[in-house]
Amino acid sequence: MATIRLPTPLRPYADGLKEVDSGADSVLEALRELTQRYPALAPHLLKSDGRLRPYVNVFVNDQDIRGLNGEATELQPQDRVMIVPSIAGGSGAALRPVDHAALRANQAAIIGSLAGSYIAGAPWVVTLVALLMLLGAARARPGFGWLYLALRRGNLLRPDVVLDNPEPHRFAQLLGGFFLGMASVAFLLGLTAIGWGLAGLVALLAGINLFAGICLGCAIYYWLARLHLPGFSKSPPPGVLPGRRPAA
């Protein structure tokens, strides 16, 4: 009789037994026989179609059956079959590709538009930028994404895709749009200095992001996530300070 050895976590499902004898001729047959005798083991070993679960490793005399004949590996009476679970896991918060060229084009367009509106004395441009940024945040893309796409089509810009969290960038844009919205309200109320001050602040932060690679809005997002604020769930990519640009 071949002997099937169970790993510690599965023994409670087989009356606490460490080893079970089997007269089966193949690995799959032995496992089916085992799960018929101890039905509570089945969900941990076999898929609903009766085949071996992918996370379960089976060794016959210290040889992985993947290197033998798989589930069909034949068993001899003196064989020792070991069931070894795969142990895996991890924080799992998968990063997604984020095109930082699009983000930088957005920042440059924001700075250019705000500077232009100040020089031309045209506060309505501030309102326009506010709307573009808020709309962009709502659609989860840069407000000046259309400009970036046009520049890319003309081969003037190339994508710079890095693994990152998109959410903090979206939040940063929302924050910028909000401040420009406040600036627009200030202009309407005749508080011109406050309006230009707020617009200047947004342009300054976009500049720090563009030239130094530090996204303050993103850093605020990560700090709020640390305080477990609902809706703020992401941590910075491993080894990256909050708000800093991840390495490509």
Member of 95, 115, 128, 174 binding another protein (CB under 8 A): 95
State yes or no: residue 194 binds another protein (CB under 8 A): no
Site string for another protein, 72-91 (x = CB under 8 A): ----------x-xxxxxxxx
Structure tokens at 51: 């085949």
Which residues are CB-neighbours of 113 under 8 A, at least 6 positions away? 125, 128, 129
Of residues 5-34, those binding another protein (CB under 8 A): 7-10, 12-13
Q: Of 171 and 187, which has the nearer Cβ to another protein?
A: 171
Q: How many CB atoms lie within 10 A of CB 136?
A: 21
- The least CB distance from residue 90 to another protein, in Å, is 4
- The least CB distance from residue 84 to another protein, in Å, is 4
DSSP 74: B
Number of residues written out for the chain? 248
Cα–Cα dist 114/124, whole Å: 10
Cα torsion through 115, 116, 118, 122, rounded to 10: -150
State yes or no: residue 57 binds another protein (CB under 8 A): yes
Give the max Cα distance, the chain: 93
Segment contacting another protein by CB under 8 A, of 1-9, 129-137, 170-178, 208-216:
1-9
- Contacts with another protein by CB under 8 A lie at 7-10, 12-13, 44, 55, 57, 59, 62, 64, 82, 84-95, 235-241
